[in-house]
Amino acid sequence: MKIVKKIKTGIGLLLGGTLLLLGTGIALAQQELIVYPSKGQSQEQIEKDKFSCYTWAKEQTGFDPMAPPTATAPPPTKKAEQGGVVRGGVRGGALGLAVGAIAGDAGKGAAIGAASGALFGGMRKNDQVRREKQAQDQWAKEQAAQYTSKRNEYNRAYGACLEGKGYTVK
């Protein structure tokens, strides 16, 4: 059971990371700048100026658009409480036994208590899984937003450098 859970968690993280990188790739394609030599610069001069501005913008912003995107570690998941359904059933059964004994039918009280305890234990487990998924989704969104922000800052610096060298940048 533990192995299956670890495999599912690993697959979920892998898919989340893949989607993050795909989303970043799409964002990269949308953020490409168009550079026009407005002063008749030669192709050789354009390449020199682009490289010079790439280096300058990278130094100014600390962002390298040629490097693969990196991400911080995802938030740790809480160790799932083992036996939530069983533990809830046992606790509910004990409580139901006590209430049933007072009411005169300990067996029926134990059965009702066990069933309701198992139900609540399962619900608690599902809530924990849902919260962990929400935390993972939030982490992925924050990573994408952080990358986009850094890329935009780099693009502004790169564009300013090229404009200073006589290019039109869109």
Q: With respect to residue 112, please indicate whether it lies within any of the assigned structural domains.
A: no
Q: Please write the tens of the pLDDT for every residue from 36-73.
A: 999 999 999 999 999 999 999 999 999 999 998 877 77
Q: With respect to residue 87, please indicate whether it lies within any of the assigned structural domains.
A: no
- Report residue 76's pLDDT band, with 50, 70 and 90 as the boundaries: confident
- Report residue 119's pLDDT band, with 50, 70 and 90 as the boundaries: low
Q: With respect to residue 44, please indicate whether it lies within any of the assigned structural domains.
A: yes
Q: With respect to residue 98, please indicate whether it lies within any of the assigned structural domains.
A: no
- Name residue, tokens 């069983």: 86
Q: With respect to residue 71, please indicate whether it lies within any of the assigned structural domains.
A: no
Dihedral sign (CA 40, 44, 45, 51): positive
Whole-Å CA distances, 11 to 15, 18, 70, 81, 128:
6, 10, 19, 21, 18
Strand, helix or coil for residue 49? helix
Which are the contacts of 169, defined by CB distance < 8 A and separation ≥ 6? 33, 34, 35, 36, 158, 159, 162, 163
pTM over 0.95: no
Number of domains in the chain: 1
**What token pair was written down for 128?**
């924990």
Q: With respect to residue 89, please indicate whether it lies within any of the assigned structural domains.
A: no
Q: With respect to residue 158, please indicate whether it lies within any of the assigned structural domains.
A: yes
Q: With respect to residue 140, please indicate whether it lies within any of the assigned structural domains.
A: yes
Look up the domain containing 137 and give its range: 2-66+125-169
